[in-house]
Structure 1
Amino acid sequence: MSEPPPYTAVQGPPPRYTLPETFNIGRRNVDLFIQPQQLKGHLSMLHAFHSLRVTVESNDEPRFPRNIREMEPENRWGWFVSIAVERFERWCRSLGEWCFTNLELALPPVDVLMVWHTYLLNPIWYAEDTAHISAVAHLPRLTEYLATNIGSPDLLITISPHPDRVHNWEHRTNTPYDPWDAAAAVTNKGIQCPYCEHRMVVPFLDPLGSGYAQSNFVARCVSCGKKFKKDMLGLYKFANDIAEITGFLSGTLHTPYNQHDTARATLIKKRIIAGAKLPVSGTITARAFMEKLKFDPAMLTGILNTQIQQRIGRRILGAYTDDRPFSVELVGAVLRQASFVRKMADLGWTEPDFFDDEGEMVILQHCVARYHAFLALMVDAPGSFFVPTLDIDLAWHTHQLRANHYHTECKQVVGRYIDHDDKVDEDHLATAFDITCRAWTNRYGLPYTYCGCPLPGTTLGQRLRNALSLHRHREQDVLVPPPDAAAGTHASDHNAVYINRKASEHARERRRQKAERRRRRAALDAKDKDEPKDAPAALRRSNRNETDRGTHELAFFYPIPLYIGVGSWLFSPLLTSLAWLRVGCGRLWSSVCGASVWRRW
């Protein structure tokens, strides 16, 4: 056996980070789905959205009515988002063939763009809605235009729009183009009574807290005199979809493997009609369905539970929470998404000049690389639920804004349509994030995060596999972030929600205590490690990652036992039983366990 080449010191700066032109995902070698320039443009949009929120919450806009200015900042932001969703709905309903003659004239103001952006980040719902709901049927063509311009978003978020664009907007939506003028002008919403179908107008805000944009919404019909809430409006929307002969119920048409499963959707609809004891064939009116259910939303829940799987039933019910045409409750979705936008702003990434320097663009190149590696992880484990870090989530969101491409590319490469659920229980996310950390390390031989959070433990067998991977797959170095990108590898927990608040708070405290103990044990373990200088660089980074303390708040962490160094007396019987590894594997074993263990052995 020939001797290895002698070590030679390398002079000069380290080699420049280069983003590969293709990635291996599953059995395919694919071109990049997104480019760093598109991430930069997306961040410019997020900067505009964040500026909206800062202005609203800081009460810096003098055009707000007095009752708005007296609100708490969080409530004022919720009201502003409600107005933006109303404007988005009016815009969607105004779209038609006319807009395709000049797409630029059809583009909306920045507050409506914010709502549209959030809608796109629910890719399965967006694809299904635009396929079967007439109110949003024209959005895909405009979405393609948005995808084309995302790398240079000045056209999308311009503060000086063309006068024809302003005129076109005001003529077709009957609201001012400027978001601040519109916020002061849009005070009422038109609805239809679910009992007598009388059209009426309700205020967005009411002194008693019962306005449409408030949590305790309730209205009394001026015709029949009956009171109703949003759940009744949702039931009425459901009844209208049941009554539409050629239509489908939201949540039934799109599956992970079939974008238009009309046979499934038709069967589900027939089962619900039969469960309501109405004729499956023949004409059914919305009022007849409502009367059969005695105008009780709870009866619909009971029918769904008996006629179809509960998982499908919950998905359907989630699409009928109010009378808006969208299957996503967009006000809540925008409020949740604002948390992620704020995290991007806290990193400084949304600042207009942050990525003007070519050297800083390496951060976005790294985001792109890690996102494609994340997709490859999904291919390797199709049944798993993986949680992205902030940098991966940014790239994932950017890919979703290219809605038509995203849908096609996911199906071709991953084998199924990948949704982006922003309503997942916090404790479930914590468990899934630990699983993601382990899967990433097993797959690439590198830590998943570099932000300083205490990571899940690593068993001896996993550590051996990681070292083998490091020796064999040096091309994975493209996944190692530059120092300025480390903060972006923090867990993206913006989509964590409380399903059971008391239980979730108890679980959070338990994870916090476990994480603190993990840190202390890692610090003690680090003192016992005599790490060799020739250990793989990624392994040394992993060890440091276990003890570094981040400057951010802990992400969700599920309690998993901390890795105990091999130097511990607990492992001495194991070392004896593995003495065969000394032959031919000495250097590898030393790099995994530490030189001090090798010397004692």
Structure 2
Amino acid sequence: MDPPRYNQVLDFIAILEQSDPAAFQSYNYSTQKEYPSIQRDKITDINSKGLPTIADVVAHLKLLKAFGALKAKVLGTSKVIKDLEPAQHKYWQVFLTNAVRRFIIFVSALRKYSCDTVSTVVREHTFHNLAKNNKFESMMSQIMPPLDVIMVWHAFLLNPKTFYDSFTRTDFIVFAKYPLPLDRIHGCINNTTFEFNVPEIYRENYSSLLQSFINDPNDLIFDPIDDLLAVRITDKQVNIYCPRCQKPLTFQSVPLTTTSETGFADPGFEAYSIEDIDEQIRNNPHFQVECICLLTPVWNHDQLRKLQLYHDVHGDTELSHAYKYFSSIISRVISIRRSPYLASSSVKSYVKNRWNNLQLNLYKEMSLVNLIKSVSSLPDEEKRLKNLLLRSYLQFNLIYFTVRGGIEIGEDLVGCVLRQERFVEKMNTTLNWLHSPFIYQTLSESLTRYGNFFHMLTSSDLKQMLVPTLDIDLMWHTHQLWNYGYFKDCLESPCHTGIDHDDTVDENKLDDGYEFTRKLYRKLFNQEYSICYCHSCIMRRSATTNKFSFWMKSGSKQMRLEEKTIVKNPLFSKDEGFSHISTHNSIKLPTSQAQMKRRKSITASSLEKDRNNSHYYYLPNSSLFVILPGVPVDSGMYALYANTLCCSIVNASSSYGNCGGLCTGGSRDGQGNSTGGSCGGSSGGGCGSSSGGGGCGGGSSSGGGCGGGGGCGGGGGGCGGGG
């Protein structure tokens, strides 16, 4: 197939200026009195789905540029020597911690304003309600959040099932159904400097909204740069509140960061409790505490996570991620036992029993991971269910503890933003699509390619993970910026289930999945999958019919060395050449099998790291992980994940719904493969294929496994499938 011919017609400014408002999905949403209905019993043609438009994608690219400009400006205020890269990354990570806190204040204030009452009884069925909350919609049309808050919102949306789970559990589904307003956001971004300038009336309305919830003047500052100038990020202090009794947990406010790295945003966070009751416990073994939080003399991240689990286990709402994995609303109903309530209640009862048998001193001293491991003597299926729901608590970054009465979001949103930065960097600098002279034509083709990819992704016959190229991943990201619209398109597809966009994928698994995706795409559409439409590749293809003559004709020895490296890569094909695989969220699990396989193979990101992505490793000696600031998965935790090269440590869901062993049907073999079933293998392990399950295999009964099927995206696929 000959490469397409390109003509320079429109730049990004002209595209946005000439686009009708109706070209934006978010504008169309704002004009509708009701939500579009979801018809799960039908299959909607791909061309009639709510896929993103060219205007949406251009506005999205412009927003990514604004994120890059914000980061450059923030680091310009840090007074950190530019050569000290780790110090800059640390400063940025602390800034993001504060940004997440500002996001939590925003959504907490919005929920308080929009909802007359906040129910502790989750009403998931309201996701299908067609009537809009007029009070909420009116407020959203009159405000514009600051750019740092939008950046957190944006990154959170790119974890669609986690986003849905969080706002379902906190009785704020209307926010989960609201699109990121790209039609209004892009108008606030300067076309040259990409600075974010919000009309004064939007700023005033935003501040008024926050004042109805919080009264600290520093929390009411709109611009994040003004916030930095008011109080340096290294001098910021926060109070920490118990989610149960809402009282302060510490004797005094704590800094976000310290030189000894014991601040709230530091891995080694440590702060003394507001009350030491050790002596009372020693004098009275039957001493009853007013609140469980009083049992902890010194707080750290692990103790906060343990308190969160205690709060959830003894609370009325379901455990975190219960709606992510077991929802019958955004996933295909495959069993009457597929219920967030049943799954959560089962695990809660086991943890409660373990807690009741613990002496006070033992509770104080036990780490969260050991507490989870100690919930033992369970049937294999129940053990997998326990691991599936409880291991997410090990990765929580509980910034909402710093906002009294704040909406309860445990997800590590700092990590969400950091994991997206590699992709943002590629879009802004390596590829710089926004300034490509061929932007209109290339995005048109990429949208067509994404339509094909989405057709593959939602096939009812898919049995393996699909890996997008960068251009397709950009479209996929843009599609997810309206959570409700994205799930509507998934539910009205042949698989009838929501497809998650996995935020943490092992690098080697990307290589394996990419080869499968490339071959399937060629088979279905008779087109090459790995043709890249970035500016440099377009110029390279148009210069010669030999895709690698650019390298061969060059006199540069470095380019010839790079060519040899590329040819050795598992993604290389003589017919297609090297493709820009989307590796921006890849991670490395610390299991022995995963480490051994990495040593034996060349991964896509290892080829790119030195050239483009040295910024990806955020702290010294952090090459294993990109999830900060808390400890993500260390050697003490990975028994909860099984010793496999599992592609996901956060989203262990296969496409037709990993039910943690609760669902039935199909046959299973010892390699973790599933035929017609929904839960994958119960023994063995490995990343076998699946049809409606499988994925990472179950692991041994002692190892925990990935929830009886796990998350390589089997049977509905994508990077993490649809669970």
TM-score under structure 2 length normalisation: 0.56
Confirm or deny that 1:363 pairs with 2:442.
yes
State the Cα distance separating 1:130 from its structure 2 match: 1.4
Confirm or deny that 1:270 pairs with 2:345.
yes
Alignment match, 1:587: none
* Change in CA separation of 1:34 and 1:293 when aligned onto 2, cut-off 3 Å: farther
1:72-114 Cα shifts (integer Å, max 9, x gaps): 1111111111111111111111112265433244331001100
Alignment match, 1:573: none
Q: Which of residues 16, 27, 47 is equivalent to 1:30?
A: 47
Once residues 513 and 124 of structure 1 are traced to their aligned partners in structure 2, the CA distance between those partners, rounded to angstroms, is 28
Q: Which of residues 180, 184, 197 is equivalent to 1:159?
A: 197
State the Cα distance separating 1:212 from its structure 2 match: 0.9
The code of the aligned residue for 2:95 comes to F
State the Cα distance separating 1:34 from its structure 2 match: 1.3
State the Cα distance separating 1:276 from its structure 2 match: 3.5
Alignment match, 2:239: 190
Q: Is the 8 A contact 2:327 2:339 kept in 1?
A: no
Once residues 350 and 91 of structure 2 are traced to their aligned partners in structure 1, the CA distance between those partners, rounded to angstroms, is 43
* Change in CA separation of 1:369 and 1:192 when aligned onto 2, cut-off 3 Å: same
State the Cα distance separating 1:391 from its structure 2 match: 0.4
- State the structure with more CA Rg: 1
Q: Is the 8 A contact 1:106 1:168 kept in 2?
A: no
Identity of aligned residues (%): 21
* Change in CA separation of 1:389 and 1:52 when aligned onto 2, cut-off 3 Å: same
Once residues 497 and 303 of structure 1 are traced to their aligned partners in structure 2, the CA distance between those partners, rounded to angstroms, is 28
1:458-500 Cα shifts (integer Å, max 9, x gaps): 999xx9xxxxxxxxxxxxxxxx9xxxxx99x510001111112
* Change in CA separation of 1:491 and 1:309 when aligned onto 2, cut-off 3 Å: farther
Once residues 507 and 359 of structure 2 are traced to their aligned partners in structure 1, the CA distance between those partners, rounded to angstroms, is 36
1:325-356 Cα shifts (integer Å, max 9, x gaps): 224211111111011000101244354xx26x
Q: Is the 8 A contact 1:205 1:214 kept in 2?
A: yes
Q: Which of residues 407, 417, 432 is equivalent to 2:513?
A: 432
State the Cα distance separating 1:270 from its structure 2 match: 2.8
Alignment match, 1:449: 530
Q: Which of residues 361, 368, 374 is equivalent to 1:302?
A: 374
What residue ranges of structure 1 are gaps of 5+ in the alignment? Answer: 1-12, 280-285, 464-479, 481-485, 520-550, 559-601
Once residues 145 and 604 of structure 2 are traced to their aligned partners in structure 1, the CA distance between those partners, rounded to angstroms, is 48
Alignment match, 2:676: none
Alignment match, 2:639: none
* Change in CA separation of 1:138 and 1:87 when aligned onto 2, cut-off 3 Å: farther
Confirm or deny that 1:204 pairs with 2:256.
yes
Once residues 88 and 158 of structure 2 are traced to their aligned partners in structure 1, the CA distance between those partners, rounded to angstroms, is 25
Alignment match, 2:425: 342
Q: Which of residues 288, 313, 318 is equivalent to 2:392?
A: 318
Q: Is the 8 A contact 2:57 2:478 kept in 1?
A: yes
Alignment match, 2:148: 111
Confirm or deny that 1:130 pairs with 2:167.
yes
Over the aligned positions, Cα root-mean-square deviation in angstroms equals: 4.4
The code of the aligned residue for 1:244 comes to G
The code of the aligned residue for 1:144 comes to P
Once residues 160 and 441 of structure 1 are traced to their aligned partners in structure 2, the CA distance between those partners, rounded to angstroms, is 46
State the Cα distance separating 1:223 from its structure 2 match: 1.6
Once residues 258 and 303 of structure 1 are traced to their aligned partners in structure 2, the CA distance between those partners, rounded to angstroms, is 27
Confirm or deny that 1:83 pairs with 2:98.
yes
Q: Which of residues 43, 59, 73 is equivalent to 1:55?
A: 73
State the Cα distance separating 1:213 from its structure 2 match: 0.9
Q: Which of residues 39, 43, 50 is equivalent to 2:57?
A: 39
* Change in CA separation of 1:370 and 1:151 when aligned onto 2, cut-off 3 Å: farther
Alignment match, 2:179: 144
Three-state SS of the structure 2 residue aligned to 1:102 is helix
Alignment match, 1:254: 324
* Change in CA separation of 1:48 and 1:274 when aligned onto 2, cut-off 3 Å: same
Three-state SS of the structure 2 residue aligned to 1:90 is helix
Q: Which of residues 564, 580, 583 is equivalent to 1:490?
A: 580
State the Cα distance separating 1:445 from its structure 2 match: 2.6
Alignment match, 1:10: none
Alignment match, 2:648: none
State the Cα distance separating 1:126 from its structure 2 match: 0.8
Which of 413-422 and 297-306 deviates more? 297-306
Once residues 289 and 263 of structure 1 are traced to their aligned partners in structure 2, the CA distance between those partners, rounded to angstroms, is 31
Q: Is the 8 A contact 1:257 1:415 kept in 2?
A: no
State the Cα distance separating 1:511 from its structure 2 match: 2.9
State the Cα distance separating 1:167 from its structure 2 match: 3.5
TM-score under structure 1 length normalisation: 0.66
Confirm or deny that 1:176 pairs with 2:221.
yes
The structure carrying a bigger helix percent of its residues is 1
Once residues 309 and 298 of structure 2 are traced to their aligned partners in structure 1, the CA distance between those partners, rounded to angstroms, is 19
State the Cα distance separating 1:274 from its structure 2 match: 3.0
Once residues 80 and 290 of structure 1 are traced to their aligned partners in structure 2, the CA distance between those partners, rounded to angstroms, is 40
Aligned residues: 465
1:414-451 Cα shifts (integer Å, max 9, x gaps): 42111011112222222222222222222223322135
Once residues 571 and 227 of structure 2 are traced to their aligned partners in structure 1, the CA distance between those partners, rounded to angstroms, is 53
* Change in CA separation of 1:392 and 1:327 when aligned onto 2, cut-off 3 Å: farther
The code of the aligned residue for 2:392 comes to G
Once residues 40 and 289 of structure 1 are traced to their aligned partners in structure 2, the CA distance between those partners, rounded to angstroms, is 56
Three-state SS of the structure 1 residue aligned to 2:240 is strand
1:219-255 Cα shifts (integer Å, max 9, x gaps): 221322711321221221122222223x111111234
